[in-house]
Structure 1
């Protein structure tokens, strides 16, 4: 029995909670999956899965073994990637987790360009705004805007870009409600809040003289900046959004920037990855590429 291969089958069965789905993904028969799991259980001397006609569950031993298998398989992929790099051909699957909106608007554009340079590297990308356990979930790299939480000391967070925020509203909203001329006047406006930003409903604006902290409020709080953007476009109020979210609408004149003499906060984009003696070449290559790509494609000024 190929233990590593059986570990890979076991991991996919647990992740997908199905023998048949794992078989389909791996391109083998369900009977082959069953045999490999049975051989693996015999090899380790413990029941890893509980199977009935209706339900598949992981035993306590199986859950612990699943976590270790993920780490082992990640190390194997790293070793293979290192060898391929030394041979001059970076290859393998790069698994990335990224913030939802940032991934949709920017990462999605950068990946095809990277793949043209390194055609032997494939991607698996998951977009979500929650915390991610890199090692447990098998990711090589996470991209997180604002300071990420790093409960695991084995992780490294490297800042790779600075992202400016801009106060904005639609021309129709401003014609109806007036244009704020000072930060304090924002209190008189319907301010649309992106809840996952560190600033939330406390906005800080700075000019040459001082910083102004304003407590804002409004009728919309959302955990997705694209939802906030749509309310801005629907003439609902004022928002404080990242440049890459509003750039095209500012260029089209559908959104106007407010308080041009004041600078809103800046967010940071971090590359988060496991601390290892040898970073997989596919990870280091992509981080360096993406940092350069952002310096050319992420606008720091608008209007």
Structure 2
């Protein structure tokens, strides 16, 4: 028999001092209620209830057993309620991991509004461009930016938005060093690259793909540092639109290689499992998705400009 059900039945019989009243409350037959209590007594080798034609009352052993089992059942019920609250209420500490530069520019400014709306929510945010192990490091949700993410059987990746990859430079740099017209021309220019892996700059035109690995004049693992160098006329940079959009719009930067297209980068929310997704993770993801979709550079998950869809 289900031991928890048996304990609940015993408790109600003892508290109501009636098998029939307990049966009505629990929507069970009198015979089923009596069977559960008798089975419990047989297992324990002790009589827990005095039975008369008028009422039922606990024995001395039954009274002690009732007190402790009732306490246990109450604790289990509270445990169940706490788990239910954690998945339906936005509360507790949310551990978030975000990329350095993108996190500082876009995610950090979103957090105060989230906290103001949900007073019982706290956010513990770490910033790194390393793809952390969410499970090992106890991260609830991460924001990851890539053209594509590796397949995973343990992680769920939700595409929130995209951004065009732009190759650009300042008008002053181009006046001094000339304007590249094709990807191959980049070899003769001062290029600013992210990280030490020297990922290729990829372009497509008329069905043909071009991948170049320019020799960096400056390499750094922080996109904002590279953007500062770019704006200071130090060279040419291939970067997502979210780092340079306002400067392109103002004319401080000029987009190069007209007619060539680079694959967009995608902003993903990554979390360990879709099953039993906590409300705090879901709320954070929806908040970030909504805010990013309003950015002038944002592409929707289908690749079309997000603002055109709003």
Q: Tell me which interval the TM-score lies in, with the shorter structure as reference length.
A: 0.5 to 0.7
Cα displacement string for residues 197-251 of structure 1 (whole angstroms, at most 9, x for unaligned residues): 8xx4421112345332223223212211112112212211100011111122223
CA distance in 2: counterparts of 1:177 and 1:99, whole angstroms: 33
TM-score normalized by the length of structure 2:
0.64
What is the alpha-carbon root mean square deviation over aligned residues? 2.9
Q: Report the equivalent of 2:137.
A: 137
Residue 221 (structure 1) aligned with residue 219 (structure 2): yes
CA distance in 2: counterparts of 1:238 and 1:124, whole angstroms: 36
CA distance in 2: counterparts of 1:124 and 1:91, whole angstroms: 13
CA distance in 1: counterparts of 2:257 and 2:272, whole angstroms: 41
Secondary structure of residue in 1 paired with 2:288: helix
May I ask how many residue pairs the two structures share in their alignment? 222
Q: Report the equivalent of 1:187.
A: 187
Q: Report the equivalent of 2:293.
A: 295
Q: How far off its partner does 1:124 sit? A: 1.1
Q: Report if aligned partners of 2:191, 2:214 keep a CA contact under 8 Å in 1.
A: yes
Distance 1:194 1:254, change over 3 A: same
Pairing of 1:24-35 with structure 2 (within 5 A): none
Q: Report if aligned partners of 2:160, 2:267 keep a CA contact under 8 Å in 1.
A: yes
Q: Report the equivalent of 1:175.
A: 175
Pairing of 1:67-106 with structure 2 (within 5 A): 80=82, 82-83=84-85, 86=88, 89-106=89-106
Q: Report if aligned partners of 2:204, 2:210 keep a CA contact under 8 Å in 1.
A: yes
Q: How far off its partner does 1:268 sit? A: 1.8
CA distance in 2: counterparts of 1:268 and 1:173, whole angstroms: 29
Q: Report the equivalent of 1:246.
A: 244
TM-score normalized by the length of structure 1:
0.65
The runs of at least 4 consecutive aligned structure 1 residues that moved more than 6 Å come to none
Q: How far off its partner does 1:265 sit? A: 2.3
Pairing of 1:148-167 with structure 2 (within 5 A): 148=149, 153-167=153-167
Q: Mean alpha-carbon deviation: is it higher for 97-106 or for 286-295? A: 286-295
Structure (1 or 2) with the larger CA radius of gyration: 2
Q: How far off its partner does 1:102 sit? A: 0.9
Distance 1:138 1:196, change over 3 A: farther
Secondary structure of residue in 2 paired with 1:137: coil
Q: Report the equivalent of 2:282.
A: 284
Distance 1:85 1:277, change over 3 A: closer
Q: Report the equivalent of 2:50.
A: none
Cα displacement string for residues 119-156 of structure 1 (whole angstroms, at most 9, x for unaligned residues): 332211110111312233222111111144677x4322
CA distance in 2: counterparts of 1:78 and 1:230, whole angstroms: 53
Q: Report the equivalent of 2:235.
A: 237
Q: Report the equivalent of 2:18.
A: none
Secondary structure of residue in 1 paired with 2:287: helix
Structure 2 unaligned segments of length 5 or more: list them: 1-78, 300-304, 306-310
Q: Report the equivalent of 1:119.
A: 119
CA distance in 1: counterparts of 2:205 and 2:80, whole angstroms: 47
Distance 1:233 1:276, change over 3 A: closer
Secondary structure of residue in 1 paired with 2:136: helix
Q: Report if aligned partners of 1:201, 1:217 keep a CA contact under 8 Å in 2.
A: no
